[in-house]
Amino acid sequence: MEAIKVDPLTILTTMFILMVQEGSILLVATLGEIFTERSGILNLGVEGLICFGALSSFIVYYLTGNWIIATLAAASAGLMLSLIHAFVSITLKANQTVSGLAITILGLGLSSFIGRPIALSRIRIDPLESVRVPLLSEIPVIGPSFFNQNPLVYFSYIMVIVLWFILYKTRFGLNLRSVGENPSMADSLGINVFLTRYVATSVGGALCGISGALLILGYYPSWYDGITAGRGWIAVALVIFSSWNPLYAFFGAYFFGLVGTLNATFQSIGFRAIPTDFFRTLPYLLTILVLIIFSSTRFRRRKMPASLGKPYTREL
């Protein structure tokens, strides 16, 4: 087969479009997990939450044809599953790593079970239409990629600012961060530690669910087992990569999104010197690398919420 001659600008634009699609899915989940972890709750159930959210949005969108209702369904699905994690780790004070892993297994299992008939029937839905942002979408490369996307992608941009604002500029955000750093002190100052952590965990779970909706409605308009393909774990790594800051998450998510598109891009230009399997593995390799580098105590000490993963018990 002869390599097709394409204009480099077109290649770059295509690459960026794919990057934004993939990156936005990661971004919403990462934002959710940042919000949760900032309150001191480690939720390793992200993968399961995304998957369950994806299935819920698929079913509801198929039945109603309304993407907003489908997205809300995904959010509630994520919220409900994460409430289990909240109850187990906040109220029952169980080990959060174990509980989180259980949520992942539960979310994946439940989706696979409920989704089996759908997977067999090979139903497809129509992906969400793109909405062009006037003026901004005229910018070369950046315009078509960032500003000609479906509404949920725009939602992900807005959430970066919203979450950053809540965390750093509101009283609730200060309380939430303080609960994640030193819950006993926050408690002595009259902050409701349990409520704050429940809110943070549920909001985080809802966002992970929405990440699943973005995956289905914007990207993979069908359903099959393992559709999330480890994106939840990449999001968990991205939380650390972005130092628990929503603004950095933006860059981290699109960086990983870009890495995820390399395979398609190189295939499209007929570059075969490196096997495609390598590019498909690359995001996961990077995830492992990020986890190793950024988990060193030297890096984590100042950035990680000091009480992350530690249940809070009020002393008498």
For 230, other C-beta atoms within 10 Å of its C-beta total: 12
Q: How far apart are CA 63 and CA 61, in angstroms?
A: 5
DSSP state of 107: H
Going from the C-alpha of 311 to that of each of 38, 89, 104, 179, the distances in angstroms are 14, 7, 20, 11
- The two tokens of residue 135 are 């003026």
Choose between 141 and 174: whose C-beta lies nearer to another protein. Answer: 174
Whole-number minimum distance, CB 290 to another protein, in Å?
Answer: 19
Whole-number minimum distance, CB 189 to another protein, in Å?
Answer: 3
Task: Give the phi and the psi of residue 25 in degrees, each rounded to 5.
Answer: -60, -50
Choose between 185 and 274: whose C-beta lies nearer to another protein. Answer: 185
Whole-number minimum distance, CB 247 to another protein, in Å?
Answer: 16
Run of H or E residues at 167: helix 151-169
CA atoms within 13 A on the CB side of 269: 17
Choose between 257 and 305: whose C-beta lies nearer to another protein. Answer: 305
Choose between 91 and 170: whose C-beta lies nearer to another protein. Answer: 170
Would you tell me which residues interact with another protein (CB under 8 A)? 169-172, 174-175, 177-178, 181-182, 185-186, 188-191, 297-298, 302-303, 305-306
Whole-number minimum distance, CB 175 to another protein, in Å?
Answer: 7
Whole-number minimum distance, CB 307 to another protein, in Å?
Answer: 10
Residue (of 53, 38, 16, 39) closest to 231 by Cα position: 53
Choose between 5 and 169: whose C-beta lies nearer to another protein. Answer: 169
Specify whether the CB–CB gap between 152 and 24 falls below 8 A: yes
DSSP state of 312: -
Specify whether the CB–CB gap between 14 and 73 falls below 8 A: no
Whole-number minimum distance, CB 191 to another protein, in Å?
Answer: 6
99-118 burial, b at 16+ Cβ within 10 Å, e below that, comes to bbebbbebbbebbbeebeeb
Choose between 56 and 178: whose C-beta lies nearer to another protein. Answer: 178
Choose between 272 and 303: whose C-beta lies nearer to another protein. Answer: 303
Whole-number minimum distance, CB 166 to another protein, in Å?
Answer: 10
Whole-number minimum distance, CB 174 to another protein, in Å?
Answer: 6
Residue given tokens 């002595």 in the structure block: 188
Residue given tokens 């960086």 in the structure block: 255
- The two tokens of residue 146 are 């960032």
Choose between 122 and 301: whose C-beta lies nearer to another protein. Answer: 301
